[in-house]
A and B are shown apart, each in its own frame.
Chain A
Amino acid sequence: MAETLLELTDVSVSFDGFYALTDLSLKLIKGEVKSIIGPNGAGKTTFLDVITGKVRPTKGTVTYRGQSLVGMSEQKISRNGIGRKFQTPRVFDNLTVLRNLELAVSPRKNALSLMLDPLPMAAKDEVHRLMSYVGLAPFAGTQAGSLSHGQKQWLAIASLVAQAPEVLLLDEPVAGLTDEETLRTAELIKSLAGDHTVVVIEHDMEFIRDLDFDVTVLHQGQLLTEGPLDEVKKDPRVIEVYLGTTED
Chain B
Amino acid sequence: MKLFKRLVPWILLAIALFVLPAILSDFRLNLFGRYFALAITALAIDLIWGYTGLLSLGQGIFFALGGYAAAMYLTLNTPSQQGGNGIPKFFENFGVSELPFFWQPFNSPFLTLACLSLIPALVAGVVGYLIFRNRIKGVYFSIITQAALMVFFHFFNGQQKLINGSNGLTTNTTELYGLLVGSSDMKLWFYRLTVLLLPVAFLICRYFTTGRFGDALIAIRDDEQRFRFAGFNPVPFKTIVFIVAGGLCGVSGALYTVQTGIVSPQFMSISFSIEMVIWVAVGGRGSLVGPIIGAVLVNYLQSLVSEALPELWLFVQGGLFIFVVVLMPDGIYGWFTGGGLRSFLASFGIAQKARTYPKIDEQIESLQEVVSTTPTDSSA
Contacts and interface: CB of A to CB of B under 8 A. Distances in A.
29 contacts: A52-B229, A74-B229, A75-B228, A75-B230, A75-B233, A78-B231, A79-B231, A86-B229, A91-B223, A92-B218, A92-B222, A92-B223, A92-B226, A92-B227, A93-B223, A94-B221, A95-B215, A95-B218, A102-B215, A103-B216, A106-B212, A110-B236, A111-B213, A111-B236, A111-B237, A114-B212, A115-B212, A138-B379, A163-B230
Given A94-B218, A103-B230, A115 B211 contact: yes
A111 B229 contact: no
A109 interface: yes
B199 to A, nearest CB: 21
Contacts, number: 79
A129 interface: no
A91 B218 CA distance: 11
Nearest to A137: B379
A52 B231 CA distance: 11
A84 interface: yes
Interface residues of A, number: 31
B148 interface: no
Interface of A: 52, 54, 73-75, 78-79, 83-84, 86, 90-95, 99, 102-104, 106, 109-111, 114-115, 119, 135, 138, 159, 163
Nearest to A115: B213
Interface string B227-251: 1111111001100100000000000
Interface residues of B, number: 23
Contacts of A86: 226, 229
Given A90-B226, A94-B221, A73 B233 contact: yes
Contacts of B211: 114-115
A161 B211 CA distance: 22
B219 interface: yes
A99 B215 contact: yes
Q: Which 7 A-B pairs have the closest CB atoms?
A: A78-B231, A74-B228, A111-B236, A92-B219, A114-B212, A115-B213, A92-B222
Contacts of A102: 212, 215
B216 A114 contact: yes
Contacts of B231: 75, 78-79, 109, 163
Contacts of B233: 73, 75, 109-110
Contacts of B228: 73-75, 78
A105 B228 CA distance: 14
Contacts of B236: 110-111
Contacts of A103: 212, 215-216, 219, 230, 232
Given A92-B215, A103-B216, 9 more contacts: A75-B228, A75-B232, A83-B229, A94-B218, A102-B212, A111-B236, A114-B213, A115-B212, A135-B379
A126 B276 CA distance: 43
Contacts of B222: 92-95
Nearest to A112: B236
A28 to B, nearest CB: 18
A157 B213 CA distance: 23
A95 B219 contact: yes
Nearest to A81: B231
A73 B219 CA distance: 18
Contacts of B226: 86, 90-92
Contacts of A111: 213, 216, 236-237, 240
Contacts of A93: 222-223
A167 B89 CA distance: 70
A111 B234 CA distance: 9
B230 to A, nearest CB: 5
Interface in B190-224: 211-213, 215-216, 218-219, 221-223
B375 to A, nearest CB: 12
B120 to A, nearest CB: 20
A94 B217 CA distance: 11
A84 B229 contact: yes
Contacts of B232: 75, 103, 109
Contacts of A114: 211-213, 215-216
Contacts of A78: 228-231
A236 B211 CA distance: 57
Nearest to B380: A138
Nearest to B216: A114
